[in-house]
Amino acid sequence: MFFKKTVPFIFTLSVGIFSFFYYFMPHAFMQDLWDKASQWAIIIGGGAMFVGVISMVRAYYKRATNKSDPNRYFAMLTIVCFIAMTVIGLITGIKPGSLFNDIFVGIMIPCEATMFSLLAFYIASAAFRSFRLKSFSAGLLLFSAIILMLAQIPTGENISPAIPWLKGWILDYPNVAAQRAILIGIAIGSVATALKIILGIDKSIYAGVGGK
Amino acid sequence: MKNLLRLMVILVVVSFAFNSYSVNTVEVTGKDSPNDKGEAIDIKWTLDASLKTSAIKVFVFRKVQGEAEYKQIKELDITAENFNDKNELKNNIPYMYYLEFRNVTGEVVYKTNEFGPYVAFPQWINTDKIPTFIFSLIAMIVILIFIQVAKSGRKLYVRPLPGVQAIEDAVGRATEMGKPMIYCPGISVISDIATLASISILSRVSEIVAEFGSRLIVPNYDPIVYSVTDEVVKGAYLKVGRPDAYKADDVYFLTQRQFAYASGVSGLMAREKPAANFFLGWFMAESLILAEAGSMTGAIQIAGTDSISQIPFFIVACDYTLIGEELYAAATLMGEDTRLLGGLKGQDYVKLVAMILLIVLFVLKLFGVPGIDTILVGGN
């Protein structure tokens, strides 16, 4: 338990106290320490990526070799793509003009853009569900949405110049007030959560201690 | 006639001299840049109106005091009236400056005398952040007091959150249906408070899952977060005495590309048809893709994030949403640790202090008391 509980606690406490004072102390001594710690984080991140890739390959390999799984072909495709990209990247490099970069720009980025563009349809379906007039709150939401949508198009101003003004008012006052209230709560919640973790009161994030 | 010509020449010379030295005047000041690690000097100047029209560029020259030659370190437009010199400056060394003002043809219209010396040095305390420091200290003291109160055995009431109760119900529902659950810890890094809060909730959820003997799938976006979630879930199974039931393949690293992650999790939901989806952590544009894809599978969905722009998407697409700080409180409300509950209660009182402070400052602002804006929005 010493390495699973005490050592992480000592590290968390010392790094937590340092990070707190770093925010208020601009001295070069603190800055240099922070820069060094950031470099360590990059190195740890690189190592963790290796662990992550092993985990991904292991999970997909088991799925690909599970003959009772009808979706195993997706897992096979993932592994084939992973190996192909790794080999191509090692042989051709990853600079612009390389085969790796061409595949990335020609296949990966359009696929991601496709996923992103799905948002438009999802927004429409989510809006349809949430704008149904079921209660007073839903009515307020519907009213605000109509005003905002009308103000976005020239028709809104043609109907009444009050519509763009109302849109501005909704966005600048009730919307900002609600967002700031949430933000203040988040800021105070962050302090409390960080304090509980730094002082070891909440140890649930320490690996292998199961919340105690 | 000769005398008249001499007089005219003298008049012209005097008039030029008058224009050069009394019309084109520049006042210069300099000092160490405040609240930094040193290695910077602020220079300010005020220009005469005529210089603003005759010159188009300002050139800043610098040398170490005692050295012979100046070096040009910056070229600025004539509109500039200050310069923060961070150009290879060293601390505790005196620097001298002068400015040159040049016209459109590059001719020097005006040149200041050398000024200085100015010395850059680091500060230990950022005075702009003192109000933040004081409020942070107050917040910490209040929270620690309530943790002590809770430890002493006094009962503290914290309003229950429907979303938290729903998490436990969702696990029970999934067990009864014999279907798995999917838990997304967000797409942020381990140092993010939302990710840490999500891992705390995952710790409690996986304990219940381990007890009930159901299945929890945790696809991860960040490899470091994956390493932690893997250990946390494993630890939960160990804690309830069922280490054999833990499946290492159910907690895995998926990808570190945002929309590839959204695609992967959406595909996972379509294939596995989970009974419950948890989206707890920090999300960006993929939040609605995940929540809508999950909604189509008919799963009960519980989301929680402190990403303000994504909260509306989760509210419309999920059954329960933990808004902002509720995400941080969820793990505490799921457990029985009195110290954590004390911390939560303390957090509520800090909020009360913040609210009172804001109201007082608002009233003072209404009465026109000066300096309130500076307190509210920071030192600048």
Coil, strand, or helix at residue B99?
A: strand
Chain B: nearest CA to A207, how far in angstroms? 5
Which residues, in sequence order, are bridge partners of residue B74?
Answer: B60
Coil, strand, or helix at residue B66?
A: coil
| Residue B287 C-beta-side C-alpha neighbours within 13 Å | 28
B-interface mutation test, from A205, A206, A212, most B Cβ less than 10 A away: A205
Residue in chain B closest to A211 (alpha carbons) equals B203
| Closest C-alpha to A55, from B114, B253, B294, B80 | B253
- Cβ atoms of A15 and A37 within 8 Å: the answer is yes
Which residues, in sequence order, are bridge partners of residue B320?
Answer: B302
CA dist., res. A133 & res. B379, Å (int): 46
Contacts of B317 in chain A (CB under 8 A): 122, 126, 129
| Model pLDDT, residue B24 | 52
Contacts of B205 in chain A (CB under 8 A): none
**Other beta carbons less than 10 A from residue A140's beta carbon:** 11
- Tell me phi and psi for residue B225, to 5 degrees: -60, -40
CA dist., res. B317 & res. B298, Å (int): 11
| CB-based contact B236 A126, cutoff 8 Å | no
More confident residue, B375 or B65: B65
The share of chain B scoring above pLDDT 70, in percent, equals 92
Number of domains in chain A: 1
| Residue whose entry in the numeric block shows the structure tokens 């800055």 | A31
CA dist., res. A201 & res. A192, Å (int): 11
- Any residues with CB less than 8 A from the CB of B179 and at least 6 apart, and which? B272, B273, B274, B275
Chain B: nearest CA to A192, how far in angstroms? 6
Of A71, A118, A210, the CB nearest to B235: A210
Coil, strand, or helix at residue A179?
A: helix
CA dist., res. B232 & res. B198, Å (int): 11
For the stretch B263-287, pLDDT in tens is: 999 999 999 999 999 999 999 999 9
Of B193, B340, B343, the CB nearest to A190: B193
| CB-based contact A122 B288, cutoff 8 Å | yes
| CB-based contact A112 B258, cutoff 8 Å | yes
Region B357-371 average pLDDT: 89
Quote the domain boundaries for residue A122: 93-130
Range with the lowest mean pLDDT among B110-124, B158-172, B361-375? Answer: B361-375
| CB-based contact A56 B236, cutoff 8 Å | no
| Residue B64 C-beta-side C-alpha neighbours within 13 Å | 7
CB pairs under 8 A between A and B: 223
Q: Is residue A116 part of a domain?
A: yes
| Model pLDDT, residue B21 | 37
CA dist., res. B329 & res. A199, Å (int): 17
AA identity, residue A169: W
Residue in chain A closest to B293 (alpha carbons) equals A122
C-alpha dihedral sign at B349, B350, B352, B353: positive
Band of pLDDT at residue A71, cut at 50, 70 and 90: confident
Chain B: nearest CA to A97, how far in angstroms? 21
CA dist., res. B71 & res. B85, Å (int): 13
| CB-based contact B252 A125, cutoff 8 Å | no
Contacts of A195 in chain B (CB under 8 A): 140, 143-144, 343
| CB-based contact B263 A115, cutoff 8 Å | yes
Q: Is residue A111 part of a domain?
A: yes
C-alpha dihedral sign at A55, A56, A60, A61: negative
| Model pLDDT, residue A135 | 85
| Model pLDDT, residue B345 | 93
Residue B4 has pLDDT above 70, yes or no: no
Q: Residues for chain A: how many in total?
A: 212
| Model pLDDT, residue B22 | 37
AA identity, residue B33: S
| Residue whose entry in the numeric block shows the structure tokens 């710790």 | B203
Report the Cα–Cα distance between both ends of chain A, in Å, rounded.
Answer: 11
Band of pLDDT at residue B75, cut at 50, 70 and 90: very high
Of B254, B258, B350, the CB nearest to A188: B350
DSSP B186: E
| Model pLDDT, residue B375 | 72
Contacts of A49 in chain B (CB under 8 A): 223, 256
Contacts of A33 in chain B (CB under 8 A): none
Region B227-247 average pLDDT: 91
Q: Is residue A198 part of a domain?
A: no
The share of chain A scoring above pLDDT 90, in percent, equals 63
Query: What's the pTM value of the predicted model, to 2 decimals?
Result: 0.84
More confident residue, B23 or B141: B141
B150 token code pair: 């809770």
For the stretch A106-137, pLDDT in tens is: 999 999 999 999 999 999 888 888 888 888 88
Chain A: nearest CA to B170, how far in angstroms? 20
- Cβ atoms of B332 and A192 within 8 Å: the answer is no
Of A45, A50, A126, the CB nearest to B313: A126
Averaged pLDDT of chain B? 89
More confident residue, B48 or A17: A17
| Model pLDDT, residue B16 | 40
Q: Is residue A122 part of a domain?
A: yes
Q: Is residue A105 part of a domain?
A: yes
Which residues, in sequence order, are bridge partners of residue B30?
Answer: B43
Q: Is the ipTM of this complex over 0.90?
A: no
- Provide the angle, in degrees to the nearest 10, between the axes of the packed helices A174-198 and B193-212: 70
The string over A71-105, giving b where at least 16 C-beta atoms fall within 10 Å of a residue's C-beta and e elsewhere, is ebebbeebbeeeeebeebbeeeeeeeeeebbebbe
Whether the link from the prior residue into B219 is cis, omega within 30° of 0, is: no
Residue A211 has pLDDT above 50, yes or no: no
Region A17-46 average pLDDT: 91
The string over B29-53, giving b where at least 16 C-beta atoms fall within 10 Å of a residue's C-beta and e elsewhere, is ebebbeebbbbbbbbebebbeebee
Q: How far is CA B218 from the centre of its chain?
A: 27
Chain A: nearest CA to B39, how far in angstroms? 9
B256 token code pair: 């570190």
Q: Is residue A120 part of a domain?
A: yes
- Any residues with CB less than 8 A from the CB of B178 and at least 6 apart, and which? B214
| Model pLDDT, residue A205 | 76
| CB-based contact A208 B234, cutoff 8 Å | yes
- Tell me phi and psi for residue B85, to 5 degrees: -80, 110
| Residue A111 C-beta-side C-alpha neighbours within 13 Å | 14
Of A27, A189, A201, the CB nearest to B339: A201
Strand B276-282 relative to strand B251-253: parallel, antiparallel, unpaired? Answer: unpaired
Residue B23 has pLDDT above 50, yes or no: no
Band of pLDDT at residue A204, cut at 50, 70 and 90: confident
Residue in chain A closest to B323 (alpha carbons) equals A182
Q: Is residue A48 part of a domain?
A: no
Q: Is residue A143 part of a domain?
A: no
Q: How far is CA A202 from the centre of its chain?
A: 23
